[in-house]
Structure 1
Amino acid sequence: MTKEEIRSVYKAKRAAIDPRQKLKLDDLLLLQFQQLDYAGVETLLTYWPMSGQAEPNTHLFSGYLRHMLPGLQIAYPVSDQPTSTFTAVLIDESTVYHTNSWGITEPTAGIPLDAAAIDLVLVPLLAFDEEGYRVGYGKGFYDRFLANCREDVVTMGFSYFPPVPRIADTGQFDVPLSYCITPDRIYEF
């Protein structure tokens, strides 16, 4: 299937998940997430799950890491829609957020963080394939950003569903994940 076909199918599959079932699936994702070793992670780039998109609750994962890794620096993306790029911005307990015109919640201010300083990136996705490539929302923000990260940066996605065999139209600028976590298992690429 192509990215566009996958996008359509998986948006519908996620929308069909009962809210009570979604809470259970998020708990199962967290249990899988807790199985990995995060020694050496000092900086995390995460994202705010979009309301209405039934995205996995990334706050569970960043909360766990905050608890386990004292001193962890956490950043969120702040998008520049005209260029389809974003800047990682450090947050703290006083950070104020707003929701942009695409429904993405972002910090209103903060200290920009160099992409090369990030150790772990939680990457949004709609689906992923058996080679670690993902289908996002189609603007290429994350692939552009990840191209500027260190070669050893850990990239991680979360899906309520197992992988598709292959994304037919993966391109040269698509960046594969290091891991994708589902409620049943951890996929390492």
Structure 2
Amino acid sequence: MLKADLRRAALVRRLALAPVEVANRSEQLGEQLFRHFPVAEWQWLHLFLPLAKRNEPDTWQIIHRVWREKLPLHLAVPVVQPDGISLKHYGLTPETPLLRNRWGIDEPDPAAALEVFTAQLNAVLVPLLAIDKTGQRVGYGGGFYDRFLAQCRPGTPFIGLNLLDVPPIERIADVLPTDVPLTACITPSQVWYF
């Protein structure tokens, strides 16, 4: 299947989820993450802040658990740059002031947050709409994450979060040479490794 078709179908299915279902599935994603990955051993975890109007996984549940359990783990999140195609990354703490970007996503205020570099990251949680059996993913099509993941240290785990409880498809037909495959994908009921 082509990325555009997969993107369209997944968005329809995800947008049909009621808010309570998004919350429940997001909680299950967090449980899978903490059960199957050495979260407490990482120094820096990169994750995205959710775009609620698109029913993205509520990563705030993971963030609040890290803070509540006082894990020795620093969190980093992306900030879209003025060029509209690149990301910088900043630390996220309970005190970090947030600004809403043009897509409606909260981001740390770069003037008040610590910049984090890709070489520091021990793992990255990645948004996605669909994934295939080789770990290739479908996002929104902007290429933000592929450019970012290509800059990370070799061996860094790239872990997709998918609210839709579906297995990977056989193959995404239009994978590009610049697409970066994931290491694993978490769904509410299962973890897939690639």
State the TM-score, normalized to the length of structure 1: 0.92
Whether 1:161 aligns to 2:165 is: yes
Tell me, what secondary structure is at the counterpart of 2:8? helix
Q: What is the correspondence of 1:66-77 to structure 2 with a 5 Å cutoff?
A: 66-67=67-68, 70-77=71-78
Q: Which residue of 2 aligns with 1:127?
A: 130
When the two chains are superposed, the root-mean-square deviation of aligned CA atoms in Å is: 1.7
Partner residue, 2:182:
177
1:59 CA drift (Å)? 1.5
Unaligned runs of 5+ in 1: none
1:168: Cα distance to partner?
0.8
Mapped contact 1:127–1:161 kept (Cα < 8 A): no
CA distance in 2, matches of 1:168, 1:48: 29
What is the SS of the residue equivalent to 2:20?
helix
Deviates more, 1:44-53 or 1:161-170: 161-170
When residues 81 and 170 of structure 1 are mapped into structure 2, their CA distance, relative to the original with a 3 A threshold, is farther
Secondary structure of 2:25 counterpart:
helix
d(CA) in 1 for partners of 2:52, 2:102: 13
Amino acid at match of 1:150: R
Give the drift of 1:147.
0.8
CA distance in 2, matches of 1:161, 1:167: 18
**Structure 2 CA distance, aligned partners of 1:146 and 1:173?**
10
1:123-157 Cα offsets, whole Å, 9 max, x none, are 11111111111111111111101111001111111
Counterparts of 1:119 and 1:63, CA distance in 2? 19
Question: Could you say if the C-alpha distance between residues 172 and 74 of structure 1 is closer, same or farther in structure 2, counting changes exceeding 3 Å?
Answer: same
**1:148 and 2:151 matched:** yes
Task: Output aligned runs, 1:96-135, within 5 Å.
Answer: 96-109=97-110, 110-135=113-138
Letter of the aligned partner of 1:18 in structure 2?
A
> Residues of 2 paired with 1:174 and 1:69: CA distance?
35
Q: How does 1:15-94 map to 2 (within 5 A)?
A: 15-38=15-38, 40-67=41-68, 70-94=71-95
| In 2: Cα distance, 1:83 partner to 1:24 partner | 33
